[in-house]
């Protein structure tokens, strides 16, 4: 049995791609998308008609223009993915709204409405929002409406605690981007799975949630190598790029032990993560502050590239 098959017995495997052929190949349970992945997917020949259809739909609606077309395209690609995966797909709110709670809520509702018009129930969609205070606040409102959320760009325990207290369905703590920051800041390039800062961060969050019986799902994300994935085997979900899925599939060795299921129960604390404390703790964590800001900037840049691609398709 290859390592990918072994991993599927311990964690729910999610494809971190919008590439339909890759999703068919690795047969994940779920799939995640973001502006960067959608931009890559939109350049594939099989999505050319979706670009044209999304533009035509936006023009018929009037107003919204390219931004509205990109929303329709995201749903069209998500719809395609859901014809293959048995679980859910994650679709992201425009990263330019990361600090606007009301606008994020409105955007999420529009995404869900488009999915439902396409015959996809909201139970099969996770709305992705950046783990800013405003994103978490938006998720709290959406969850009460039965719109399930995936809080992304999560780099710290303060973000994770706020998400759990807000009743978020799922969080995506990033592994590789944390490692990137520590490599750059320390000049060290010999981290192993045992001392990888990203692996340690996700392990700590996972143990915090499980010991206090928070129902929020932990989905490790942003992996740089298969060693990180193996170290987190047993995590609720793991979202993995096609390249690393292939490496796991090609490896017939024995999967590493991964996370321990032997976690002592602790009393869940009263909800205490208010906005001032959240902002203070996040600000005190240079890595989390820098990577959150960088991640939002990068997603905005790729959103603009996607919109430019749509513009060229007119």
CA-based nearest residue to 304, from 70, 108, 100: 70
- Cβ–Cβ < 8 Å for 74, 91: yes
- Cβ–Cβ < 8 Å for 108, 147: yes
- Cβ–Cβ < 8 Å for 190, 147: no
Q: Which residues are catalytic?
A: 128
Written as six digits, the tokens of 72 are 């329709």
CA-based nearest residue to 158, from 264, 288, 265: 288
Residue with tokens 């960067």: 36
- Cβ–Cβ < 8 Å for 227, 198: no
Residue with tokens 């969050």: 205
Separation CA 306–CA 34 (nearest Å)? 11
Separation CA 288–CA 158 (nearest Å)? 10
Strand partners of residue 13: 238
Per DSSP, the residues of 231-285 read HTTTSSEEEE-HHHHHHHHH--SPPP--S-S-----PPPPP---HHHHHHHHHH-
Residues belonging to the chain: 314
């Amino acid at each position: 049995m290859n390592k990918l098959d072994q991993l599927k017995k311990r964690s729910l495997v999610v494809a971190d791609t919008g590439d339909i052929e890759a999703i068919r190949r690795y047969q994940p349970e779920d799939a995640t998308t973001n502006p960067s992945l959608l931009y890559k997917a939109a350049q594939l020949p099989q999505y050319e008609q979706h670009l044209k259809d999304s533009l035509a739909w936006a023009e018929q609606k009037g107003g919204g223009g390219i931004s509205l077309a990109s929303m329709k395209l995201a749903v069209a690609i998500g719809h395609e993915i859901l014809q293959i995966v048995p679980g859910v797909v994650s679709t992201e709110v425009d990263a330019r709204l990361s600090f606007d709670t009301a606008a994020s809520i409105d955007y999420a509702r529009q995404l869900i409405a488009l999915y439902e018009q396409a015959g996809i129930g909201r139970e099969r969609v996770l709305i992705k929002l950046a783990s800013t205070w405003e994103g978490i606040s938006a998720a709290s409102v959406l969850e009460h409406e039965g719109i399930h959320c995936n809080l992304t760009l999560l780099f710290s325990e303060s973000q994770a605690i706020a998400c759990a207290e807000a009743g978020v369905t799922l969080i995506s703590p990033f592994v590789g981007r944390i490692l990137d920051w520590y490599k750059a800041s320390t000049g060290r390039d010999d981290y192993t799975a045992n001392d990888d800062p990203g692996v340690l961060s996700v392990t700590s969050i996972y143990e915090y949630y499980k010991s206090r019986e928070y129902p929020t799902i932990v989905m490790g994300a942003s992996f740089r190598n298969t060693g990180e994935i193996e170290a987190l085997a047993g995590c609720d979900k793991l979202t993995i790029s096609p390249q690393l899925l292939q490496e796991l599939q090609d490896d017939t060795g024995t999967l590493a032990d991964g996370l321990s299921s032997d976690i002592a129960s602790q009393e869940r604390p009263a909800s205490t993560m208010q906005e001032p404390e959240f902002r203070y703790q996040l600000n005190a964590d240079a890595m989390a502050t820098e990577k959150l800001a960088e991640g939002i900037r990068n997603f905005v840049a790729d959103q603009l590239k996607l919109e430019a691609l749509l513009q060229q398709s007119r």
